[in-house]
Structure 1
Amino acid sequence: METGKLIRAIRKNKNLKSKDVYKNILTRPAISRFESGKSDTTAEKLFQILRNMNITLEEFYFQYNGNAENDDFLTIDAYTEAYYAKDLSKLADLEREAKIRYEETANIKFLHYAATIHLFQRKLTYQPISGEQFSIIRNYLVACETWGYYEVVLFTNSLDFFSADLIDALYPTVKLKMTEFNRIRRYKNELFSLVSNILVLYLEKNDADKSAYYYAELESAVSNSDNRMYEHAILLFFKELIALIRDKKEDTHKLQQMLQMFDFLEMKRISKQCSSLLADVRRNNAEAF
C-alpha cells in the first residue's frame, strides 16, 4: 500500500478531517494526489502528518508492513534462541538463509547475520574462531564512524569474539549512543542488556575488578529501565557472583536461592544461563588454588 493511501485509511479510521491533518503541510490538490497514491511527500512533511494524527513512526511502519513484526528482530531472536538452545541444525539453516538473502539483496546486514551465526556455531562446537568471519563484523564496526542502533546490536551480539581491550575501548562510545537510544521506548532496556553481556564475559574470566566496574555501570543502567524487577534480580545475582570471586568462598546458598526464584518466575532461559555462569565461576575458583 502506498504511503498516502495508508495515511488516508488511518485518517478515516480516526475520523480526522483533512484540514486538521494537513494544515500548513499540503494544499487541497496535493492532498488528493497524495492520498490517492499518485504522488509522495517529503520525510519532514510525513513526520508532521503523523504527529497531527497522533501516531508514532513505529506504529505507522508496523501498519505499512501489513502488521508484520520487524524482520530484523525476528532474525536476531531466532538465532539467539537457537544459540542458547544449542540447536546447531537450526543455526546452520539460519546461516544458509542469511547467505541466500545477501546474494539476493546485497544488503550487508545479511552478511553480518551469516557471520555472527557462523561464529556461534564454532563456539558451540569448541572450534577456533574463524578470523575471516569475525573480520567481517570487526572491520565494519571499526570503520563505521557513526554508530546507530544497528551497529550497537551487532556489537552486542558478537561480544564473545572481541578482545577485552577492544571491548573496553569501544564501550564509552557505545554507552553514549545507547543512552541516546534510551529515549526511545522500544530500545529503553538495551543498555542494560549490553552491559550485562560485557559483565558476564568478565565474570566468566573471574576478573573481579573489571566485573565490579561493569556492575557499577549496570546499576546506573537500571534507573533508566522499564523492567525493574527482573533487572534488580539479575543485579543481586551478579553481586553475589562478584563476592564469590573476590572471597574465593564456596557458600553458594544465596545464589542457589536466586536460581530457584528465576525458575519460579518462569525465567527458564535466564535461570539456565545464570546456572551455567555460576558453574564457570566455581570451576575457575577451584582452579585458582
Structure 2
Amino acid sequence: MEIGSLLRQIRTNKALTLADVADEDISSSYLSKVERGQNDITVTKLIHLLRRLETTPEEFLYLATNGLSLGYGDRDRFLETYFGKTTSMSIDPKKIPQIIKALKSEEEKARIFFEKAPSLKHKLAVNGRAILAILFQSLFVEDRHELPVRPDLTHVAEQYLQRLDNWGELDLYFFMLFSIAMPASTQRRLLTIAIKRSHYYRHFTNTPLLLLNLLENQVMLELTRQDTKTAAHYLAQLEKALDKQPSAEFALWARFHQAELYVRNGQHKQAATLLDQNIQMATTLKLRDLADMFSYARPIILNEPPTSVYKYFHIMIGTLEETA
C-alpha cells in the first residue's frame, strides 16, 4: 500500500477530517495531496503527522508491512549475510568433519560473492565466516584452549565500526560477533564506545536488554581469555546494569559467571552451591535452555581446568551439543 493511501486509511478509520489533522505545520491541502500521492513527505513531517493521527510509528510500520513480523527475524537474516546459516557446533568427534565442511562451504560461498562484486559488505561476509571456521578449528580440533586473535580478519570490521557516528542494532551484534578474533585491547576500546552510546539503545524496541547482552558477552570473553581480574570488572558492570534493567535471564548469567570466578579463586564449595541454585531457579522460571546449559557446564566448571571454558563457549557459535 502507498504511504498516502495508508495515511488516509488511518485518518478515516479514526473518523478524523483533514481539518482535524491539519495544524500550523501541515495544512489540509498539503495533507490531501500527500494522501493522493501528489506530494512527498519528509520523515520529520511524517512523524509529526502520525502524532496528529494519534498513531505510533510502530503501529504505522505494522500496518505498512501488513503485519509482517519485524525484529529478531530480520536481525538474524541480516547476520546470516555476514556469517552464513546457523551451524550447530558440536563437541561430538563424529560430527566434527561435517561441521568443518559446512563452515568452509559458507566461507567459500561468501568468497565467490566477493570476487564477483567486491564490496565492504561482501568482504565482511568473507572474514566473518572465516573467523567462525578458525574458531571451531582452534578450539575443537586443535584443542588450543584460546581464542584466535586475527587482526588480519577483524581490521576491516574495526575500521567500519570506528568511522560510524553511531551504531545501530545490527552494528552492535556485528561487533559482538567479530569480537572473538579482535586483539583484546582493540575489542575493549570498541566496547567502551558501545557502552558510552548505550543511552541510544532505548530506541531499539527489539533489544531492550542489549546493554546486558554486551556486558555478559564481555565477561565470557574475558573468562575465555583467562583474564579473571578483567572478567570481574565487567561482571560488576553487568550487575550494576541489572539494577537499572532487571532481567531474570541475565541475572542468572551473572550468578553463573560469579560461580566461575569462585572456582578460579579456589572457592569450589561456594561455586557448587551457586551453580545448583542457578539450575533450580532456571528450572522454576521455566528457562529450560538456561537450566540445561547450567547443568551441562556445572561438572566442567567444577572439575576441569579454566581453559575448558571453551566447551560451553556460547557467544555467536550456536548451540554446543553434549556428547553422548
Fold match by TM threshold 0.5: yes
Provide the C-alpha distance between the structure 2 equivalents of 1:42 and 1:100, rounded to a whole number of angstroms: 39
CA RMSD of aligned residues (A): 3.7
Cα gap change, 1:205 to 1:131, in 2 (>3 Å)? closer
Structure 2 counterpart of 1:35, one-letter code: E
Q: Does 1:234 align with 2:253?
A: yes
Alpha-carbon distance, 1:209 to partner:
0.9
Provide the C-alpha distance between the structure 2 equivalents of 1:105 and 1:59, rounded to a whole number of angstroms: 37
Structure 2 counterpart of 1:31, one-letter code: L
Moved more, 90-99 or 210-219: 90-99
Alpha-carbon distance, 1:183 to partner:
5.3
Q: 2:131 aligns with which of 116, 119, 127?
A: 119
1:117-196 matches, within 5 Å, as 117-126=129-138, 133-142=153-162, 144-149=163-168, 150-182=170-202, 184-196=204-216
SS of the aligned residue for 1:262 comes to: helix
Cα gap change, 1:21 to 1:210, in 2 (>3 Å)? same
Alpha-carbon distance, 1:182 to partner:
2.9
Cα gap change, 1:31 to 1:179, in 2 (>3 Å)? closer
Alpha-carbon distance, 1:80 to partner:
9.3
Higher RCO by CA contacts (8 Å cutoff, separation 6 or greater):
2
Alpha-carbon distance, 1:271 to partner:
3.9
Cα gap change, 1:38 to 1:115, in 2 (>3 Å)? farther
Moved more, 150-159 or 37-46: 150-159
Partner of 1:224: 244
Query: Which structure dedicates a bigger proportion of its chain to helix?
Result: 1
Name the TM-score, length of structure 2 as normaliser: 0.71
Cα gap change, 1:42 to 1:81, in 2 (>3 Å)? same
Structure 1 counterpart of 2:154, one-letter code: F
Q: Does 1:268 align with 2:272?
A: no
Partner of 2:77: 75
Provide the C-alpha distance between the structure 2 equivalents of 1:67 and 1:89, rounded to a whole number of angstroms: 38
Partner of 2:21: 21
Provide the C-alpha distance between the structure 1 equivalents of 2:253 and 2:293, rounded to a whole number of angstroms: 13
* Identity of matched residues, %: 19
Name the TM-score, length of structure 1 as normaliser: 0.78
Structure 1, gaps ≥5 residues long:
none
Aligned pairs, number: 285
Provide the C-alpha distance between the structure 2 equivalents of 1:248 and 1:115, rounded to a whole number of angstroms: 40
Structure 2, gaps ≥5 residues long:
91-98, 143-147, 309-324
Provide the C-alpha distance between the structure 2 equivalents of 1:8 and 1:107, rounded to a whole number of angstroms: 41
